[in-house]
Amino acid sequence: MINKQVAGVQDAIAGVSDNMTCMFGGFGLSGIPENAIAALVKSGVKGLTCISNNAGVDDFGLGLLLHQHQIKKMVSSYVGENDEFERQMLSGELDVELIPQGTLAERCRAAQAGFPAVYTPAGYGTEVAEGKETREFDGKMYVLEHAFKADFAFVKAWKGDAAGNLIFKGTARNFNPNMCGAAKITVAEVEELVPVGELDPNQIHIPGIFVQRIFQGEKYEKRIEQRTVRKRE
């Protein structure tokens, strides 16, 4: 067993430096690497290009990094719900590249799986395809989209072990598995680090080979963005 466990979040983010490209798992605030983000805020690292489906909210998630002006560029599919983001974007302080959500997922998967690029129908005929190669297969048009190249991927799982094996929970899974192994170094934080051998080999979502560092997060706020409920009848 190859041991990926690091002592804590400080060791986990070691090597992140100005102007790097980092991936962050999560959909909205669900399944985001809360502890890594907090440590990056403290570290003061600047000029980051962040690949993340969303950009957090004003006071949580990647919004915390935005607030400290640590992000140079966001590559996302949806960036609402964030006033500071809007201000920086409209002022030109922040560069934003919006791409289709499925394209984002697949550009991660391509990087993970060693594919240089993929042909996807998403965005054909729209401004997303401008300047990109397009091609017909069987009468349908596709856009060539390239694998991401990132320095770090920060992901969050539910359970994990020192071998780097990960299990996600519910829809907090989202982009996290696709980002594992899609950057030079993948840092996984988990709610619970269990002894090696405890996870069923058959039920591991991401094998440890895709993970370079793993640690148990100190605490998880797991904030809910849209609390929708129904009344008991």
Partner 1 sequence: MALDKNGIAKRIAKEVQDGYYVNLGIGIPTLVANYVRNDIEVEFQSENGVLGMGPFPFEGEEDADIINAGKQTITTLPGASFFDSAMSFSMIRGQHVHLTILGAMEVAENGDIANWKIPGRMVKGMGGAMDLVASAENIIVAMMHTNKAGESKLLKRCSLPLTGVGCVKKIVTNLAVLEVTESGFKLLERAPGVSVEDIQKATEGTLIVEGAIPEMNL
- Which chain residues interact with a second copy by CB under 8 A? 114-121, 137-138, 140, 142, 146, 167-170, 201-203
Least separation in angstroms between residue 77's CB and a second copy is 18
Residue 86 to residue 198: CA distance in whole angstroms: 45
Q: With binding defined as CB under 8 A, does residue 14 bind partner 1? A: no
Q: With binding defined as CB under 8 A, does residue 149 bind partner 1? A: no
Q: With binding defined as CB under 8 A, does residue 39 bind partner 1? A: no
Non-local (6+) Cβ contacts of 50 within 8 A are: 21, 22, 23, 24, 62, 65, 71, 73, 74, 75, 76
What residues numbered 103-122 form the site for partner 1, per CB under 8 A? 103-106, 108-109, 111-115, 120-122
Decide: 166 and 160 in contact? Cβ < 8 Å: yes
Q: Using alpha carbons, select from 169, 207, 174 the residue that is nearest to residue 25.
A: 174
Tokens of 139: 């009468």
- With respect to partner 1, which residue has the nearer C-beta, 13 or 155? 155
Chosen residue from 16, 21, 31, 65 binding partner 1 by CB under 8 A: 31
- With respect to a second copy, which residue has the nearer C-beta, 5 or 120? 120
